[in-house]
Amino acid sequence: MSDPARPVAVLVGPPGAGKTTIGRKLARRLDVPFRDADHLIEDAEGRSIPDIFATGGEPEFRRIEERVIGETLESFEGVLSLGGGAVLSEATRHRLRGLKVVHLTIGVAEGVRRSRGPGRPLLAGGDATARYQALLTERSPLYREVAWTTVSSERRSSGKVVADIVDRLESGDPHPRRRGRRP
């Protein structure tokens, strides 16, 4: 029996970190397919994420998310971006072990700015900055737990972030290389 298929890279991080945008560009650059877990969930359920939250709440959404991610990780050989809360599942974190998981980071202010909109039920209404900070406080240790490497997307073009990730994937070294430095 051969080894199960493995994604080339899995992107994790908070809302607004650029997982979908960077994931698409990374997949194009590596000439592999791209999948976004949130879109896979909507396709599997035949309804939007806000609708899932409205009818079943976050617990139902997380159950569906865990199942869809588990199925995808078993057979997908491209670049996969996960929703910001996917790492809350212990089963998902276990499945991510040994994979090239790229943790995209971003600051609170930029994350809130990028995350405004109706498709973000956990940030809707009230003080979005306080809720975003609470999400980061809860999830950052989990992102670090599953990460093979960490890359900042704060104040960087998506092209530079992709080039940085490709460099690390191709070298097999999760640490950034120092460029242009003299000995």
Q: Is 100 annotated as a binding residue?
A: no
**115 with 132: CB under 8 angstroms?**
yes
Q: Is 31 annotated as a binding residue?
A: no
Concatenating the DSSP letter of every residue in 96-119 gives HTTS-EEEEE--HHHHHHHH-STT
Which residues are registered as beta bridge partners of 104? 151
The answer, yes or no, to whether residue 179 has pLDDT greater than 60, is no
Cα torsion through 55, 60, 64, 66, rounded to 10: 150
Q: Is 29 annotated as a binding residue?
A: no
Question: CA dist 101 to 6, 48, 128, Å?
Answer: 11, 26, 27
**Angle between helices 128-146 and 108-115 in degrees, nearest 10:** 110
What is the side-by-side order of every strand in the sheet holding 101-105? Answer: 34-36, 79-81, 9-12, 101-105, 149-152
Set out the domains of the chain in order of their start, with CATH numbers: 13-163 (3.40.50.300)
Name the band, by pLDDT with cuts 50, 70 and 90, for residue 115.
confident
pLDDT value, residue 109: 83
Q: Is 179 annotated as a binding residue?
A: no
Q: Is 20 annotated as a binding residue?
A: yes
Residues whose CB is less than 8 angstroms from the CB of residue 59 and which lie 6 or more positions away in sequence, other chains included: none
Give the residue among 26, 47, 1, 45 at the shortest CA–CA distance from 100.
26
The answer, yes or no, to whether residue 121 has pLDDT greater than 90, is no
Q: Is 35 annotated as a binding residue?
A: no
Q: Is 139 annotated as a binding residue?
A: yes
Q: Is 47 annotated as a binding residue?
A: no
Q: Is 57 annotated as a binding residue?
A: no
Rounded CA-CA distance 136/159 in Å is 25
Name the band, by pLDDT with cuts 50, 70 and 90, for residue 122.
low
Among the listed ranges 7-11, 40-44, 127-131, which one has the minimum average pLDDT value? Answer: 127-131
Among the listed ranges 6-10, 78-82, 90-94, 115-119, which one has the minimum average pLDDT value? Answer: 115-119
Concatenating the DSSP letter of every residue in 145-182 gives HH-SEEEE-TT--HHHHHHHHHHHHHHT--SPPP-S--
**148 with 102: CB under 8 angstroms?**
yes
Three-state DSSP state, 90: helix
Q: Is 16 annotated as a binding residue?
A: yes
